Chains A and B, each alone.
Chain A
Amino acid sequence: MSSSPPPSSAAASPSCPKKMIALRSSDGETFEIEEAAALQSKTLENMIDEDCAGTPIPLPNVTGKILAKVVEFCSKHAEPGVDDESLRAWDAEFVNVEQATVFDYILAANFLEIPTLLNLTCNVVADMIRGKTPDEIRKFFNIKSIFSPEEEEEVRRENHWAFE
């Protein structure tokens, strides 16, 4: 899905009925996505309704690198005839990336309102949190805590059952 020539006119010929939507990332790259795939995003769905001439939809919050992957995700999930098991396996591979990229996906899915991608990526982060102690979580995500020991003790006491 690299840069494409200017989008063709909206009229669909009988042999090529799929309508393509053009998207532009924050760094100026253009991507094409099938309408069916684009409808997975509530944000895009709203924009497509209002769009007339087929000019690329600008997405200032999403870089080209991430938008390429998001388009790939939506296209895969709009494909007919894929059975659940292989889709799940595909999803697992899709999120098998480094931490920073998962968060990029989350922010993109949040901005574009893609519930499937948002749930998938949030579940991945939840897996990173589950069962860890607070110290382990801080280390894993580089969270800086500025609590004084007394403050931290107070917080722990408020819900001691969670820390036992």
Chain B
Amino acid sequence: MAETSIHRKSSGDRPNRTDKTNPPLPPPLSPRDLISALPDAVIHRIFSFLPLQDVVKTSVLSKRWRPTWTTATDLVFDEEIVARRGSTLDFSSLVDSVLIQCISPTVKRFHVIRFKYEKAHRPKFDLWLRFAEGRRVEDLSLLLVPTTEPPTLYILPRFLYCWSWLVRLKVWTCCFSLGRTIRWPCLKILVIAISRLSDDILEGIFRGCPVLESLKLWGCWGVKNIMIDSTCVKELVLFGLRDSNIQTIWAPHLLSLRISGDWQPHAMLRLGDVSSLVEAKLDFSIRVLTDLPCDEMMCSHMLKETFQKLCGVTTITIGAWCFQKLSLLEMEGVPAPLSICQSLTLHVDIIQWDLLGIAYMLRISQCLEKLVICLTGLPLSMYSLDEESKESFNYDEEDFLCSRKGNFQCLAKHLKRVEITIDNFGLERLLALIKFLLGDALALEKMIIKANLNMGHGQEHVRATILSKLLVVSQNMLSYRRASRNAEVIFSHSFK
């Protein structure tokens, strides 16, 4: 059916006017086969959005298409190509067979994704990297998955360190060698995961990458101090896992910092000079192994110090664990430095004293313009308070907030936008806060409340109950007094 030609033949009615002196033109491509008429460069760009198997499949479309994929500029080998087909072809052989046929002079992107790495694969990877070197790959990803515990790391070959054209590099389960000089003058983005590093290696990286803009270290170990004096590096992301043990970060020109994951208690991360920071995200947790109060105190203290360093940051996001600890600081009446934060995002677990944390943040963020609160319905293991402290915090939420009224300077002039996202149980918790904000935020322009409801087993009556609860609450909410005449309240919900 695809064989039938659709081009028009001259109609039989017309008198035969064939000019015998000029040879007939070749029949035009089907008048509507526009895709085959595209230049190869454009087709390669289309290929860059497609998974490899779809790219290779085009070889059978027609003669024009047969060689087109072999000059493709993006080679992305994802383990799922092989996973889908069971065991007919192994990942290594597939990569080999494709690379043999690939004749592009330049390959921009070369990715190997989710490859289960064993020591025996090392020569294969060295060979593939030689291929990538010959094609001047700008964007290299080796996302290898460890197969042993402790993980066997792929030792990056020496010739990789002098790829002067490399712009993006992502390596998982690989390791750098000490004593090799790194020279990546074009490298802008570097992601290293599950790797053994050291302060020296990191220093070598910074020295060899003068235009580096973004660095992400995910589950790495061996680094104690991160010192970045380059003015180019704008973004640093640290994700803690296993034995991640960073102690200090000194980066006076850094603009954006994110610390996530799970850190060892003895890590005691300390921020040095981070005076240029504009954006900070603290969504990490520290795994405290004992219940001893001194361990807890160490965590709180460390968090308080970290937070103090961030009082010049305008956009801050705080994850659930950090927020919980900050709430405790409020409980203890710890005086807090004033922050110039303008946009604040809080991830809050529903616990009895979450309002304290919010109050703390409102109190210290005197210029706050935008407040985003995400209420998550999975409570962390409850922080264990002694009975006495628990007693002093059986409070009425409304009273509590009203008693602190004078403290919230941001409400008088600055707070313009509030977004609250909740799941099944959150709305009632925040009613007092919503009431308070609507009643006192004089500059408020918009309050958006989104309820993402999880229906679980999809039982109709459960759904109905939740919906009716939602309706009652939303009606109450819309009837609250508003200090700001222009305040718009938008309430939406969705079911998962």
Which 6 residue pairs of A and B lie closest in terms of their CB atoms, listed nearest first?
A: A126-B49, A162-B56, A138-B2, A103-B34, A145-B62, A162-B53
**Is there contact, CB below 8 Å, between A125 and B57?**
no
**Is there contact, CB below 8 Å, between A141 and B33?**
yes
Give Cα A156 to B35, complex, Å: 21
Q: Does B61 count as interface, using CB distance less than 8 angstroms? A: yes
**Is there contact, CB below 8 Å, between B42 and A156?**
no
A interface residues, how many (CB within 8 angstroms): 39
Give Cα A103 to B59, complex, Å: 21
Q: How large is the interface on B (under 10, 10 to 19, 20 to 34, 35 or more residues)?
A: 35 or more
**Is there contact, CB below 8 Å, between A147 and B60?**
yes
Considering only residues 46-67 of chain B, those with a C-beta below 8 Å from chain A are 46-54, 56-63, 65-66
Give Cα A134 to B3, complex, Å: 13
Q: Which of A122, A142, A156 contacts B33 (CB 8 A)?
A: A142
Chain A contacts to B: CB under 8 angstroms? 99-100, 103, 106-107, 110, 118-119, 122-123, 125-127, 129-135, 137-139, 141-147, 152, 155-156, 158-159, 161-164
Interface of A is mostly: helix
**Is there contact, CB below 8 Å, between B88 and A164?**
yes
Which residues on the A side are within 8 Å of B36 (C-beta)?
A: 141, 143
Q: Does B9 count as interface, using CB distance less than 8 angstroms? A: no
Q: Which of B33, B46, B53, B59 contacts A155 (CB 8 A)?
A: B59
Q: Which of B47, B61, B94 contacts A134 (CB 8 A)?
A: B61
**Is there contact, CB below 8 Å, between B88 and A143?**
no
Q: Which of B49, B56, B62 contacts A143 (CB 8 A)?
A: B62
Q: Does B85 count as interface, using CB distance less than 8 angstroms? A: yes
Considering only residues 1-27 of chain B, those with a C-beta below 8 Å from chain A are 1-3, 5-6
Give B80 Cβ to nearest chain A Cβ, in Å: 13
**Is there contact, CB below 8 Å, between B34 and A141?**
yes
**Is there contact, CB below 8 Å, between A142 and B32?**
yes
**Is there contact, CB below 8 Å, between A130 and B38?**
no
Q: Which of A130, A139, A161, A164 contacts B1 (CB 8 A)?
A: A139
Q: Does B486 count as interface, using CB distance less than 8 angstroms? A: no
Q: Does B334 count as interface, using CB distance less than 8 angstroms? A: no
Which residues on the A side are within 8 Å of B34 (C-beta)?
A: 99-100, 103, 141
Most buried by B among A129, A143, A155: A143
Q: Does B45 count as interface, using CB distance less than 8 angstroms? A: yes
Q: Does B29 count as interface, using CB distance less than 8 angstroms? A: yes
Give A108 Cβ to nearest chain B Cβ, in Å: 11
Which residues on the A side are within 8 Å of B82 (C-beta)?
A: 161
**Is there contact, CB below 8 Å, between B2 and A129?**
no
Q: Does B39 count as interface, using CB distance less than 8 angstroms? A: yes
